[in-house]
Homo-oligomer: A and B are copies of this chain.
Amino acid sequence: MIQVAVLGYGTVGSGVVEVLEKNKAEISLRAENELNVKYILDLRDFPGDPYEAKVVHDVNVILDDPEVKIICETMGGMEPAYSFSKRALESGKSVCTSNKELVAAHGPELLELAKANNCNYLFEASVGGGIPIIRPMNYSLTAEKIEAITGILNGTTNYILTKMEREGADFAEVLKEAQEKGYAERNPEADVEGHDACRKIAILSSLMTGKYVKYQDIYTEGITKITAEDFKYAKELKTSIKLLGRSKDAGDGYEAMVAPFMIPDEHPLHAVNDVFNAVFVRGNMLGDAMFYGRGAGKLPTASAVVSDVVDCARHLGKTIICLWDKEEVELKDYKDTSKQFFLRVKKEDLENAKEVFNAEKVLEIIEGEAGIVTPVMTEREFEEKAAKLPQMITRIRMEN
């Protein structure tokens, strides 16, 4: 029997205990050992909870118990999760986490610590919730040179954008409804401003390059400026608007960005709706592949954490290879990256805009304004041209 501790008895932590209990038979078979939750760390008490007796308030009870081999860190946030994880790894206990902030900020350091102590730091649940993506990248796509990753990585924003598209509703309206339903947090900034997706694409980009892509270096834009009118143009262009995390080996350097993009109907990511997430990977031998599923939620996320626990149980005393070096990747300045743009201008600016942008397509579907699709150009070129159109209504990037 292998003893496990869970740090943080919130949504994901209680899910981990539930998954371990409900699928005990299947999990024991796969882990080739029985797994038992010995401790649950939380500041609160849980009177009446079936696992009440396992709850402790002092992390040292767990860290000092040599029987505990695997720790699930489902606290979230930087501290005390960071200190607890370090101390656990230093004492040779493997750590499985859903904490994308911590992984994005300290991944390479914690991986190195795990290696030095013959244990593991695994983070399948940190990206894409229940979707298997970290392990497929580390264990399955091993014959590939990954050239690009494009992901719908945040369920809240995808839910909001899907609803805006279907109902013709505006952002603020849908956000309010999502908050009432519990699909968006009271303070939705981390989701709607793209910070959450940024952490996730930073982790995926690091695994793609084998080096350290810092989330602070990734240009990030959220969805708060997307309107019902934008979706009218998107529909006319046979596209949908999705918040994408994108990462690419452009040959002359690595690019990474988080922003809303128009995605064409025939792109596999186009059909990813509601709270679903998907990660689209391009390998130099494989071509395109996609991993799709529930990007959040108690049980899917907990299932990913438990899959890490099983992996740790299979590899007690042995560190599983994970190529994520401390060496930092210098990303290309986003202004030097190229793409097509869609922009909206006032009717009276249309002729000027067509000329300035060398418009490939013009749409006149809303009174008093027009939409324009530009040729491929760098962000810098776009900004220079846009400076000549101070009354531009909006611009959205295009994925092809």
Contacts and interface: CB of A to CB of B under 8 A. Distances in A.
A323 B23 contact: no
A299 B285 CA distance: 5
B144 A26 contact: yes
Contacts of A297: 287
A303 to B, nearest CB: 4
A293 B285 contact: no
Interface of A: 19-20, 22-23, 26-27, 29-32, 124, 130-132, 135-136, 139-145, 210, 268, 270-271, 283-294, 297, 299-300, 302-304, 306-307, 309-311, 314, 321, 323
Given A30-B142, A145-B23, A303 B323 contact: no
Q: Which 4 A-B pairs have the closest CB atoms?
A: A132-B140, A289-B293, A143-B306, A290-B292
Contact of A143 (B136, B271, B289, B303): B303
B286 A143 contact: no
A299 B321 contact: no
Contacts of A314: 321
14 contacts: A20-B143, A23-B285, A26-B144, A31-B142, A130-B285, A130-B286, A130-B287, A135-B139, A142-B306, A143-B309, A283-B303, A287-B293, A287-B294, A290-B291
Nearest to A132: B140
A142 B321 CA distance: 19
A321 B33 CA distance: 12
A227 to B, nearest CB: 25
A303 B290 contact: no
Contacts of A143: 19-20, 23, 26-27, 302-304, 306-307, 309-310
Nearest to A30: B142
Given A27-B142, A139-B135, A141-B132, A286 B299 contact: yes
Nearest to A287: B294
A270 to B, nearest CB: 7
A235 to B, nearest CB: 16
Contact of A32 (B30, B132, B271, B321): B321
Contacts of A22: 284-285
Contacts of A268: 271, 292
A142 B292 contact: no
A227 B71 CA distance: 57
Given A23-B284, A286-B300, A303-B286, A140 B144 contact: no
Nearest to A18: B285
B23 A144 contact: yes
Query: Which of A22, A130, A143, A307 has most chain B Cβ within 10 Å?
Result: A143
A26 B209 CA distance: 10
A145 B303 CA distance: 10
A210 B22 CA distance: 18
A307 B32 CA distance: 24
Contact of A294 (B26, B142, B288): B288
A357 B114 CA distance: 63
A283 B297 CA distance: 14
Given A32-B321, A291-B292, 19 more contacts: A19-B143, A23-B144, A23-B145, A27-B142, A30-B321, A30-B323, A130-B283, A132-B140, A132-B141, A135-B140, A139-B307, A143-B309, A143-B310, A286-B299, A286-B300, A287-B300, A288-B293, A288-B294, A291-B291
